[in-house]
Amino acid sequence: MFDNLSSKFASAFSSLRGKGRLKSNDLAEICAEIKTALLDSDVAISVAQDFVNKIQDRSELVLEEINKSTNPSQAVFNIVNEELTSILGGLARRIRLAKNPPTVILLTGLQGAGKTSLAGKLAKYLKDQGNTPLLVASDLQRPNAVTQLQVVGESVKVPVFAPEPGNGVGDPVKVARDGINFAKDKFHNIVIVDTAGRLGIDEELMAQAKRIRDAINPDEVLYVVDAMVGQDAVRSAQAFQEGVGFDAIVLTKLDGDARGGAALSITQITGKPIMFAATGEKVSDFDLFYPDRMASRILGLGDIQTLAEQAKNAFDTDTTAKFEKKFAEGEDFTLDDFLAQLEAMKKMGSMTKLLGMIPGANSGAMKKQLEQFDDSELVKTQAIVQSMTPLERNDPKVLNGSRRSRIALGSGRQVSEVNSLVERFTQAQKMMKQMRTGKGGMQLPPGMQMPPGMPAPAPIKKQAPAKKKSRSGNPAKRALES
Ligand code: GDP
């Protein structure tokens, strides 16, 4: 979503890097470039203007120190990073649990924003944290909303309170109120109430949201926003904030290719933090929102923390411990280990998204590689490995011609694909040995090694230090400058 913005930031900073010592007009120039980039990305004018004003003012104030530092452009970059984190909300904000359970979370927003999908994602996240959530179907307007919530609830194994069929039948306020009572009776510690949206903010939507809010007195009102809608979404959020009020925002559809301006403007315009982000239709496409990590991604610094956390969640502790032990003891990486890793990788979500969190992945050759990566390769590779016997998985050297033909037949793939997998696997085995002996490749987060068949991430080139022109004929002064 932020590709365009990221590449404009990168080009603005690459011209600043070539400058060495910075002057006021260099700052004004980069601020103008940044402002244009923000406006192109659909960021609200007031937010873009405030943002560049802050960068200019802060940089001017410490310009002398900036120029004394070894890398002036990096010093400005750090200020931009801090200000970007700040417009994204500064500190991360999480659900506050009520002192007296159940904690009641009310989901509001326009129709199609992604509330019902979000209800399932949020329920799963909270359940994984050891809570006992209940979903309540108070969207009785949108066709099939009740059934959709039931299906979502079933898929994440969270019960759904749905006494009314919906499709225009039933009183949403009563359902919400009865849902809370049901949760109290059954000792659910969290209740997530899905409500109806409309196509636009209007009196009826606000009136219904207010009635539900007053009936159940929620601990958190979350306003769900479709980030693809751009500035319109920000305007609706503002109207809803003024008319009904909410505590935090959830951005959905961050996987889309819209320009991302809504995400950057909404916190400033509404004064409310973004709490969660949805990045796809699957239940697993859900992230906690961290302003600093998002700023890092936009500035092309990647998001290694999220990557490491996702790896940790996908690889259960037993599997990770087994790998680490094998690795430490110098045992061979087998196709069985490979299969376990493939399964974990699939749990982590789309490979393209994951690799996109690696620093530098947003630019040049790496980006092209990512765009070409086909996630269905994982499934094909898995089918081939699953068609092998335990002996073959443990010792691929036994794979002669007839065994390879049998595997190809069993997995519905070509013999050439089996050959290619075995070859890549053998290379990966070698790579693992090299990593163990400290001779090889890049380091990935603990517990996560790239399975063979994946495009190896391109090594990240170190930025060559900007060449500085000698600015003074006086050696003592020059030494001071550098
Ligand atoms: P509601 O009317 O607010 O309850 O919206 P839904 O939850 O039914 O979502 C509307 C559509 O958006 C559905 O087709 C969802 O699958 C889709 N959707 C929801 N969240 C996301 C997301 O983060 N990314 C993408 N690409 N689609 C999403």
Sorting pLDDT into bands at 50, 70 and 90, what band is 302? low
What lies within 8 Å, CB to CB, of 413 at 6+ separation is: 380, 383, 384
| Residues of the chain above pLDDT 70, percent | 77
Q: How far is the CA of 190 from the centre of ligand 1 (A)?
A: 23
Does residue 187 carry a pLDDT above 70? yes
φ, ψ for residue 354, nearest 5 deg: -65, -45
Range in 279-283, 366-370, 450-454 with the lowest mean pLDDT: 450-454
Q: Which atom of ligand 1 is nearest to the CA of 148?
A: 8
Task: Determine the pLDDT at residue 374.
Answer: 65
CA-atom Rg of the chain in angstroms: 26
Among residues 295, 258, 259, 257, the alpha carbon closest in space to that of 274 is found at 295
- pLDDT digits over 135-167, tens only? 999 999 888 999 999 999 999 999 999 999 888
- pLDDT digits over 29-56, tens only? 999 999 998 998 888 999 999 999 999 9
- pLDDT digits over 234-261, tens only? 888 998 898 889 999 999 998 877 677 8
Task: Determine the pLDDT at residue 466.
Answer: 42
Among residues 372, 381, 370, 369, the alpha carbon closest in space to that of 425 is found at 381
Q: In this predicted model, which residue has the larger pLDDT, 449 or 160?
A: 160
**Locus of tokens 């070409």:** 372
Among residues 150, 119, 354, the alpha carbon closest in space to that of 252 is found at 119
- pLDDT digits over 383-397, tens only? 899 899 989 988 888
CA–CA separation, 279 and 346 (whole Å): 16
Task: Determine the pLDDT at residue 311.
Answer: 66
**Domains in the chain, start-ordered, CATH in brackets?**
3-87 (1.20.120.140), 103-301 (3.40.50.300), 307-441 (1.10.260.30)
Q: How far is the CA of 157 from the centre of ligand 1 (A)?
A: 20
Task: Determine the pLDDT at residue 458.
Answer: 37
**pTM of the predicted protein model:** 0.70
Q: How far is the CA of 224 from the centre of ligand 1 (A)?
A: 10
φ, ψ for residue 368, nearest 5 deg: -60, -45
- pLDDT digits over 10-36, tens only? 888 888 887 878 888 999 999 999 999
Does residue 377 carry a pLDDT above 80? no
Q: Which atom of ligand 1 is nearest to the CA of 252?
A: 23
Give the mean pLDDT of the chain.
81
Task: Determine the pLDDT at residue 316.
Answer: 65
| Residues of the chain above pLDDT 90, percent | 40
Residues with CB under 6 A from ligand 1: 109, 111-117, 142, 197, 252-253, 255-256, 278-281, 285
Q: How far is the CA of 155 from the centre of ligand 1 (A)?
A: 16
- pLDDT digits over 208-220, tens only? 889 999 999 999 9
Task: Determine the pLDDT at residue 42.
Answer: 87
Q: Is residue 102 reached through a cis peptide bond, with omega within 30 degrees of 0 on the bond before it?
A: yes
